[in-house]
Amino acid sequence: MSFTIITLLEGVGLGIAMLALFALGTRSAARRLAQSSDKSAVDGGVIDASVFGLLGLLLAFTFSGAASRFDHRRELITKEVNAIGTAWLRIDMLPPATQPAIRAGFRRYLDARISAYAKLPDEAAAFRELQRAQEEQASVWAKAPSRMRNNLSVTSDSVQKKLCRSCTHSK
């Protein structure tokens, strides 16, 4: 069953359960109020305030955790995009004859990564695309050092390091 459907069913179930328990509590309080001659014995203002305070804290911590996970994910995406962009620019430092093969592999790698995110509701398809991206990454990585052996220099070392950094940020 899809994660979205499960989450939706859980949310609806919790909502119905909360409404039912709220109605049960209201009826119970009304019954106690009708039976009691002392109206102050039924008042639960302090207890209500503490329960609502705890629920407020729970809600605040939930949103805080979600916000921090979102910020962390955004930071990882930014690092990956910067590493990929730098690696793409560093390919220009390779000899012109070797650039097209590495660029084509890099494009296939990026297409597979984008396709994996586009297929995310279907986890199996997204996983297949991520495997294809890893295969393309290995292919680019295998081509890059062999192309650099023909032109050993500081620039080829720089390209290799950036390609490596690009690959590690994508995991």
- Tens digits of residue pLDDT in 38-72: 666 556 677 778 888 888 898 899 889 889 999 99
Average per-residue pLDDT in the chain? 81
- Whole-angstrom distance, CA of residue 116 vs CA of residue 123: 9
Helices 99-118 and 45-90, interaxial angle, to 10°?
Answer: 160
pLDDT tens-place string over residues 91-149: 888 778 888 988 998 999 999 999 998 998 888 999 999 999 999 988 888 877 665 65
Of 29-38, 81-90, 92-101, the range with the highest mean pLDDT is: 81-90
User: What residue segments make up the domains of the chain, in order of their start?
Assistant: 1-39, 69-169
* Residues contacting 4, CB < 8 A, separation 6+: 121
Extract the tokens encoding 9. Answer: 């069913």
